[in-house]
Structures are given as structure tokens and as C-alpha cells.
Structure 1
Amino acid sequence: MGQGELENCRICGRLFLKDHTDYCLNCFEDIEQDFKYVADFLKKEQNRYATLQEVSKAAEVSEKRIMEFIRGGRIFAEDYPNLGYECAQCGTLIKRQVLCNDCYERYSTAVDEMMTREKAKDEIRKAQHGHQNEAQYWRLKRNK
């Protein structure tokens, strides 16, 4: 195992020796305790249909942290019909990623179109620049 690096904890800012996490030991333990509260709450059959807000309130864990557990794959939201979070763009309830499929497709299409336009612009610039160099070459050749 290689030597760890000194890092600042992403939560409290304390220096710690980074090996496998972005958090100091105290914050890491807090995160693990929060995960245990959420997991224990969701294990109960009567809580299977709880929403993110209900889980947050009952487990006394922030919605943001629960979303991190879901995004990180520690909680599989597909197993819980009402557990999810809002798409960053439109607010639709989702269970993975940051964007819903519709918003992802819309952004993906827009990026593809923009990249195609940029590529076309680059090719036009190269073609124009190439013709200018060619013209200059022959002008210089004639002037000699």
C-alpha cells in the first residue's frame, strides 16, 4: 500500500491522512452512522413506501446525505417505489444520476449539435487558412 497524502476533510476541513475516503475519521464515522440509521429505517416493511423527506425526518439524516447514499449505490432506490430525488433540471422524481432521461437526452442532443457546429467551423477555418497559405506561397514565388 502506498503512502497516504495529507488532505483537508470535505466536511469539517481538518487535515487527515487520505487513504480510501475524502473525509477525516470523525466525519467518516458520522456518515457511516447516518447510513446505519437510514438502512435500519428502510429495512422495516412498513417503511418500504417512504419518500426521501419521510426517511430524512425519521432517520434524522439530511436529504442531501441520503441522495449521496443513493447516487453512490449504497441504497438501491429501485427497491423503494417512492424513494428518489428531483432531477436537477426539471424536478421529476428520479432514482439515479443527476438528470432524468428526458433532460439527459435533451442536453446530449444539444451538446452533439454544438460539437458538430464547432467541428464544421474548424474545418472551414482550416480550409480558408490553407487557401491563404497556398496563395501567399505562389505570390512570393512570383515576386522572386
Structure 2
Amino acid sequence: MAELSNCPDCGDIFVKNLFRENCEKCFKEEERMYEIVYQFLRQRKNRAATMDVVIRETGASEKMLYKWIRKGRLQRALFPNLGYPCEKCGNLIQEGKLCKNCISQIKKDLDIFEEEKNRQQEIQERERSRTYYSVDDRFKGK
């Protein structure tokens, strides 16, 4: 469904839809920059270029490059030195939202949490099993 929105790049009002998140003018400029970057990277000598080199040589913004890589327009198989920052630590990655180190750290933290949860449950079970009940003969039904 289309809705009115402000362009995140220039602030102009435009009709936002599923395919575009900026106005026509900014969209055309972005596509022009994409063609410049893609033509630069298609040259065999530039396929291993880093983000800094691509930015310096083409004039494209870092934000645009990250966007194109996330969307898959610049494929990591063809351009192995390009990436975007991990959402937790900022290291460059080529897929997902987190780098391998952050994922493994989160997994370790979750494992520690689960172990602590299980330990607490075991303590509660032991406490329940230690409880003694006495039977009062008056209430046995005699």
C-alpha cells in the first residue's frame, strides 16, 4: 500500500511504496551512483577493492554501499572485500546482522543462562524433596 512519506535523503514528500524508500530524484541519483560503482567493480583489477578504495574512487557514500550489499545488489562472491558493519560490534560482515564472534558470544551467554536456570530448578527440587510431612492421627479418618 502506498503512503506519503518524507524522503530520508533530501526530505521531500513522495509516495512511498514497496519498491522504493526515497523520492524519484534521490532514487535516480542512487541508481546513477550504483552504475558508477558497478562499472568500477566490474574491472578485473578493482574486484578485490576495499570499501575505502571504492568510496574514494567512485564518490559513493558508505551508506549506499552498505545498502547495496545488504540487498544483494553487490554480491559478496564477486566482490569479497566488501561488507557492512555487524550490528553489535561494527566489524565488517557480508551476510546476516551479526558477525561470527558476536553470534558465538551470544550463544555462550545463552548456554550460561540455561545452565543457571537448570541449577536453580535442581535446587528447588532438592528443597521440595527435603520437606517432611507429619501425619496427625486425629485427621486420618478414625
Secondary structure of the corresponding residue to residue 14 of structure 2: strand
What is the match of residue 87 of structure 1?
86
What is the match of residue 138 of structure 1?
none
8 A Cα contact 2:5 2:16, kept in partner: yes
CA–CA distance in structure 1, aligned partners of residues 108 and 71 of structure 2: 26
What is the match of residue 75 of structure 2?
76
Aligned partner letter, 2:48:
Y
RMSD (CA atoms): 2.7
Residue 52 (structure 2) pairs with residue 60 (structure 1): no
What is the match of residue 15 of structure 1?
13
Structure 1 residue 96: Cα displacement: 1.9
Q: 1:93 to 1:23 in 2, by over 3 A?
A: closer
Q: Which runs of 4+ in 1 moved over 4 A?
A: none
CA–CA distance in structure 2, aligned partners of residues 110 and 25 of structure 1: 46
What is the match of residue 97 of structure 1?
96
> Greater CA deviation, 59-68 or 90-99?
90-99
What is the match of residue 28 of structure 1?
27
CA–CA distance in structure 1, aligned partners of residues 57 and 31 of structure 2: 17
Aligned partner letter, 1:104:
I
Paired positions, count? 117
Q: 1:6 to 1:89 in 2, by over 3 A?
A: closer
CA–CA distance in structure 1, aligned partners of residues 5 and 81 of structure 2: 37
State the Cα deviation string for residues 39-76 of structure 1 (Å, max 9, x = none).
11110001011001101111110122111110111111
CA–CA distance in structure 2, aligned partners of residues 83 and 35 of structure 1: 14
Unaligned runs of at least 5 residues, structure 2: 121-142
8 A Cα contact 2:37 2:58, kept in partner: yes
CA–CA distance in structure 2, aligned partners of residues 108 and 12 of structure 1: 41
Q: 1:28 to 1:46 in 2, by over 3 A?
A: same
- TM-score relative to the length of structure 2: 0.68
CA–CA distance in structure 2, aligned partners of residues 22 and 91 of structure 1: 24
State the Cα deviation string for residues 11-41 of structure 1 (Å, max 9, x = none).
1111111233111100111111111111111
Q: 1:59 to 1:100 in 2, by over 3 A?
A: same
CA–CA distance in structure 1, aligned partners of residues 85 and 15 of structure 2: 35
8 A Cα contact 1:52 1:85, kept in partner: no
Aligned partner letter, 1:100:
C
8 A Cα contact 1:37 1:59, kept in partner: yes
Bigger-Rg structure (1/2): 2
Secondary structure of the corresponding residue to residue 106 of structure 1: helix
Unaligned runs of at least 5 residues, structure 1: 121-144
